[in-house]
Structure 1
Amino acid sequence: MKINDQQPLPNYIANETRYDQMPFRRCGKSGIQLPLISLGLWHNFGHNADFKNARTILRQAFDFGITHFDLANNYGPPYGSAEENFGRIMEKDFRPYRDELIISTKAGWDMWPGPYGNLGSRKYLIASLDQSLKRMGLDYVDIFYHHRPDPETPLEETMGALDHIVRQGKALYVGISQYSAEDTAKAHQILKDLGTPLFIHQPRYSMFDRWVENGLLDVLGEKGVGSIAFSPLEQGVLTDKYLKGIPEDSRIAKDGRYLKESQISDEVLSKVSALNKIALNRGQSLAQMAIAWLLKDERITTVLVGVSKPEQLADNVNAVKNLNFTETELAEIQKILV
């Protein structure tokens, strides 16, 4: 990781008013409340990033009342490096606040070579979490997810591994990510029978990606399972960032793995421009409105944001100041999205 400690950050003392700034929402039928905004470490926390900047963002997040930090075994690059760097920041800044934090990690995508470092087998999930705990310097995580459906491994084996991990004391709660409505209902029942409730589902969800509305949100509401929406801004598309061209410091310009210039079509920009006008009339940035639009549904427990700069995080957090939409605004937004 790029080290920038020529001017070291002062010792960290958390903002005393942090819990006055952030609303919380209960996660399903559990005893846990999560902040409406959570911070994801998918990008900008690996060894290719600036350590001081990453540390500043995490400090700022907690000062804003963000208590939930979300990781995965393969976040980086390289794989594992986001967890390693989070572990360093945890030791430097957050060790006194461990009991105020919800820390999650996941396994399900390729992590190491061979047949035992991918998908959803019991061997892979348990081994991966052991590695993650070592990288982060933790005795346990608060949430451990199966990161994606595995069509080859029996669901009973995958859910059985999650149950076993909780009984080992290596995770307090378990979740799944990107499961269909049908498989979510099956996973919920298997875990219920084992005695370990399904705590949370992490789906991709945004104004431009609404697959969860075709049954998944109904299942989560019926079963009392929480949800955390990732990619709420479509990798930056649902901001005003690309309305005047491709900035040199944008994700498209620097890293085309997850967002390509071809995805910013004239049609997409037209929709973004129209949405931006509605946001400005609401007194919000487009990013804030896109986050608020997700949180208007009580079945969304929290929205997972990813940022590269502290000012982006500050902008995202301000979304919680205006979560109400008029019927006219919702109709205008729907017309644009359709």
Structure 2
Amino acid sequence: MSTTRDAADALKFPILIGDIGGTNARFALLLDAFAEPKTFPVVQTADFPTLDAAIQTAVLDKTSIQPKSAVLAVAGPVDGDEIDLTNSPWVVRPRQLIAELGLEDVIVLNDFEAQALAISSLPEKSREAIGGGVPHEGASRAVLGPGTGLGVAGLVRARRMWIPVAGEGGHIDLGPRTARDIAIWPHLKTIEGRVSAEQVLCGRGLVNLYDAICAVESKEPVFTTPAEITEAAINKRDAQASEAVELFAVYLGRVAGDIALVFMARGGVFIGGGIFQRIIPILKAATIREAFEDKAPHRALLAEIPLYVVTEPLAALAGLATFARTPRFFGLETTGRRWTAA
């Protein structure tokens, strides 16, 4: 049954933690409060009809450990007993997970709440600075990440707790700034006439941007997937692919600057997501940093805010594990998002 138990209530170990995106699902088991998460191979959501089947095959069939609790982060808004993923046909049904998998307690969060939890304690070895700026201790932070979609979340400090702030910030408007942008924009695929950040800054967004550049150049598109475009850009095999990746980074820097202003993120803005990590080697840090800071009349403010790339590939799982060990340290509202066995 769904309950109004406080997030500070301790979860029973072992705890299953899961980061479920539109394309990939990542799972781990946390045996106790001191153990490092025991991770399992990443699986693709398209390979399983349901989340329950994925957990059974990818985790439970591979271990004799029976988890008693689960903390899951999903790519979509958490609302009600049936939770639809934004970019996947999976529907998360916590009551069914309890009934079929023998769990006693299930908490479901937004996937970028998990990313926000991760940046509460992300070590220096798991991040790489882009440009200058000095983080303010205890100041708000923000995270965004292009993947199957564009996730955005904030992290604020209050009452000696870190409080993640989830939302759908990836769907803010993205507009043209330069003459090149103005040439490209009419060729971008829109949603009801609108270019949102996610229409450009995610996997399918990179394809959208590449196709638009080809249209401007009167070239027939050669590539159809984000992986093909990034590979061609990394190896300098295609001018349009190279420009698409360069502009992708610039637009992401612009949006990161916007998010920094929204959250007054003096603690830093963190960019996650596999797409950005793959293209880092060919990007010009100064160009991204300039796009991040170019926020008149607040350029001086942005120059003081650190911008980081998250280099830890399992950051969301690390964030979930941090929360699962010590939920009392986080101001995470779980009313309507926590279910317990009857």
The two structures have a TM-score, normalised by structure 1, of: 0.28
Higher strand fraction: Structure 1 or Structure 2?
A: 2
Q: Who wins on radius of gyration, i.e. which is larger?
A: 2
The two structures have a TM-score, normalised by structure 2, of: 0.28
Higher helix fraction: Structure 1 or Structure 2?
A: 1
